[in-house]
Amino acid sequence: MTALHDPPVAPSRAARELGLRRSEFDIAVYLGRIRTVRDEGGGGRRVARSEIERIRAQEGFPQALRDSARTVGTTEGAALMGVTKDRFTRLARLGLLVPVNFYLNRYRAVVWMYLAEEIERFAADVANAPLLKGRTPEGLRDQLKEGLDLRARNWRGRYLGFLLGQAEDPWARAAAVASLLDPVEVSEVVRDPYERSHLGRFRPASPSHGSPGSPAAQIAEEIMTAAEPDETARLRRELARELDTAREQRPAPRPAPRPRDHLAVPRSAQRTREHGRVPHPAAAREPGPAPYSARRPAAATSGPAPERPRPKEPRRPRGLLSRLRRRGS
């Protein structure tokens, strides 16, 4: 029997020991049914041995855990409810069915995934019977005609709950809220650059959807960023509250203040103080460069003034031209 005090294991190993596929394991963690701990070495989240033993001891393991993490798309979800795919999509757009995950297919179309047990629970509720058969109520039809689609917004709300549940630090909670806002919105709420930098250290890793900068990654980023004004305003208020709590518990680190230049002691004074002598105030100042006039050589004060050299006489022309000029004179 494995000791409960063994070190935590990686998610891949925990999934194998719990009899889950990795996608099922991730959903179970997302839903809080498998608790994870932070890796002290900075390698992400891990699962404690005691948590694995706790789950194994639950009734119905492993099938009950696997069923709770089962997800379905639109086609399979509509079959579970006994409705058409169009009706299922309308119910999801109205926010009556909340996605638990999404991915992009090879055509870069968003495929929403839902918990199978939530779909079955919705279909079994007699209060929802009018929504499963007959015409959609008029008020709901009008909202759909106006383009209402709450799937992405409801997923963001669910995802934020997961991030807050994983956060173990007040700055991590604030960073979780900030991760769903546009960077411009974050900078307007967090005006201090040192706080923004500190907040970025706790920013949770985004779900991987394509390589960075790819069209798929850009679509996923749009889904993860609040777009509606009321949702943005709500997240901004929540970010401000989380930020106030983080400041009270532990302010963001700042660089140490630099000494003021006019208080610096001259080097000559420092050297003199090291030898135990107190310099005269005038001597404490280091001599600066001599003025230009001081660098000129001093003029002699006695003796005869030096004679200036006489200009040389012009040379007389030589050759035939000079002899002709002398004869003519």
> Each residue of 10-21: pLDDT tens digit?
999 999 999 999
Identify whether the C-beta of residue 103 lies closer than 8 Å to the C-beta of residue 209: yes
pLDDT at 27: 94
pLDDT at 260: 66
pLDDT at 318: 53
Condensed to tens digits (0 to 9), the pLDDT of residues 130-186 reads 999 888 888 899 999 999 999 999 999 999 999 999 898 999 999 999 999 999 999
- Nearest CA among 60, 66, 54, 59 for reference residue 15: 66
Condensed to tens digits (0 to 9), the pLDDT of residues 81-97 reads 999 999 999 999 999 99
| Mean pLDDT in residue range 21-47 | 87
| Mean pLDDT in residue range 77-82 | 96
Spatial distance between the Cα atoms of 6 and 8, rounded to a whole number of angstroms: 7
Q: Tell me the pLDDT band of 280, cut-offs 50, 70 and 90.
A: low
The total of other beta-carbon atoms located within 10 Å of residue 224's CB is 17
Spatial distance between the Cα atoms of 114 and 93, rounded to a whole number of angstroms: 13
SS3 track for the chain: CCCCCCCCECHHHHHHHCCCCHHHHHHHHHCCCCCCEECCCCCCEEECHHHHHHHHCCCCCCHHHHHHCCEECHHHHHHHHCCCHHHHHHHHHCCCCCCCEEEECCCCCEEEEEEHHHHHHHHHCHHHHHHHCCCCCHHHHHHHHCCCCCHHHHHHHHHHHHHHHHCCCHHHHHHHHHCCCCHHHHHHHCCCHHHHHHHHHCCCCCCCCCCCCCHHHHHHHHHHCCCCHHHHHHHHHHHHHHHHHHHHHCCCCCCCCCCCHHHCCCHHHHHHHHCCCCCCCCCCCCCCCCCHHHHCCCCCCCCCCCCCCCCCCCCCCCCHHHHHHHHHC
Mean pLDDT score of the chain: 83
Tell me the pTM: 0.74
- Nearest CA among 161, 255, 198, 156 for reference residue 190: 198
Query: Roughly how many angstroms between the first and final C-alpha of the chain, as a whole number?
Result: 138
